[in-house]
């Protein structure tokens, strides 16, 4: 195996063994604290343009199976791990971690002190980095074109409408880079689902006649979708809506709120979130770098429904008159706990009670 390097924009260089694709890449270096679920994390489209550092020291011990991918293929820019297991043991495993990355064309550095990388990120914030076979000290001041702007969402979003049969309510899933588990949660509830491109307008949706709309997770800065905010507002004004992760952020932005970037984001499977109405604390999986800015919410329009216990950031919103709810975390889990699956049920209850869109009055 060849020697490889992770070079951070601070000038720090971490040496390891190159596995997966044997050429370099550039991305935003982030970390995830989950103890399991590396396959789901690898294939989560929200990691597009990022180099993911796994905090858990042993990766690959149960291999890769044919069931747990959250998208058809990984979209992330690279992977950094500590100890690589080259002989996985699990009855469902079809390939190894290293083989999976090689087949997907994703570079990875193994044998790295990931604790030191995490400390750097926690102190300095997420930063640009390069995976390379040479220990040069220059990191581009600007990431390659595929890792900023709407090109990230273009990369992961569907280009055509995809239909999934069901006998229940018809839900339009706006695809900013949705996870398979999100779709499966709707199908499990009996919904008919139309996965639609992120550029879908209110006029486009009217022809589909959905009973509800779900705005998915996805990569990057939500402000890159600013041109779509008027359409998002119009959609949510007429159709019962649920926003998850990036979907939560863009709905808030469409109604005049702002967002800001966290120092190192929330990425892991054990983030405690307090439900304001009940006082209950739910353990949630999360993967995001941006949050809705405190005090930017119009309290005459929205109420805050959930808060992060650790940093008190906004984790959920509910419109005071319209059937619109949003959450920053992932109620579908995968990986992580499914404590908040009831959010899907609440959304579908809203859809049924609202009777869907009032097309005759929509303009």
Instruction: Return the active site residues.
Output: 245, 330, 332
The answer to whether the CB of 196 falls within 8 A of the CB of 208 is: yes
Q: Which residues pair with 80 in a beta bridge?
A: 53, 109
Spatial CA neighbour of 257 closest among 297, 230, 317, 312: 297
Q: In sequence order, which residues have a C-beta less than 8 Å from that of residue 155 and are 6 or more positions away?
A: 48, 75, 146
Measured CA to CA, the distance from residue 282 to residue 343 in angstroms comes to 12
Name the residue with tokens 């991918």. Answer: 69
Token digits of residue 169: 């309510």
DSSP string, 172-221: EEEESS--HHHHHHHHHTT-EEEEEETT--HHHHHHH--SEEEE---SS-
Secondary structure class of 20 (helix, strand, coil)? strand
Specify the DSSP class assigned to residue 90.
-
Distances (CA, A) of 128 to 9, 141, 217, 265, 312: 6, 8, 22, 14, 27
The answer to whether the CB of 304 falls within 8 A of the CB of 297 is: yes
The answer to whether the CB of 336 falls within 8 A of the CB of 269 is: yes
The CB-based long-range contact list for 232-239 (8 Å cut-off, 24+ gap) reads 234/202, 235/202, 235/205, 236/319, 236/322, 236/324, 237/322, 238/202, 238/357, 238/358, 238/362, 239/172, 239/205, 239/210, 239/211, 239/212, 239/213, 239/356, 239/357
Q: Is the peptide bond before 335 cis (omega within 30 degrees of 0)?
A: yes
The answer to whether the CB of 320 falls within 8 A of the CB of 303 is: yes
């Amino acid at each position: 195996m060849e020697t490889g390097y992770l070079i951070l924009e601070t000038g720090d260089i971490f040496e390891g063994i190159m596995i997966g694709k044997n050429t370099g890449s550039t991305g935003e270096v982030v970390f995830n604290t989950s103890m399991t679920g590396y396959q789901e994390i690898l294939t989560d489209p929200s990691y597009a343009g990022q180099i993911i550092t796994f905090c858990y020291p042993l990766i690959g011990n149960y291999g890769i199976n044919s069931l747990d991918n959250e998208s058809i293929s990984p979209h992330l820019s690279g992977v950094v791990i500590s100890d690589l297991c080259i002989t996985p043991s699990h009855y469902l495993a079809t390939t190894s971690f290293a083989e999976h990355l090689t087949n997907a064309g994703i570079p990875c550095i193994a044998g790295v002190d990931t604790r030191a990388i995490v400390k750097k990120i926690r102190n300095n914030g997420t930063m640009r980095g390069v995976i390379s076979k040479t220990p040069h000290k220059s990191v581009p001041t600007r990431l390659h074109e595929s890792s900023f702007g709407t090109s990230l969402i273009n990369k992961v979003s569907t280009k055509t409408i995809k239909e999934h049969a069901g006998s229940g309510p018809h839900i339009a899933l706006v695809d900013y880079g949705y996870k398979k588990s999100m779709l499966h949660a709707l199908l499990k509830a009996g919904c008919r689902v139309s996965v639609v491109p992120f550029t879908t307008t209110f006029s486009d949706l009217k022809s589909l006649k959905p009973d509800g709309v779900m705005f998915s997770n996805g990569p990057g800065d939500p402000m890159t979708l600013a041109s779509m905010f008027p359409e998002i507002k119009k959609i949510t004004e007429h159709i019962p809506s649920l926003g998850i992760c990036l979907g939560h952020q863009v709905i808030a932005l469409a109604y005049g709120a702002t967002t800001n970037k966290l120092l190192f984001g929330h990425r892991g499977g054990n983030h405690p979130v307090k439900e304001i109405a009940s006082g209950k604390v739910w353990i949630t999986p999360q993967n995001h770098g941006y949050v809705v800015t405190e005090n930017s919410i119009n309290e005459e329009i929205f109420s805050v429904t959930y808060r992060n216990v650790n940093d008190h950031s906004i984790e959920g919103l509910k419109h005071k008159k319209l059937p619109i709810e949003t959450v920053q975390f992932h109620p579908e889990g995968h990986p992580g706990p499914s404590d908040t699956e009831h959010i899907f049920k609440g959304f579908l209850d809203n859809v049924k009670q609202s009777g869907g869109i009032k097309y005759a009055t929509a303009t």
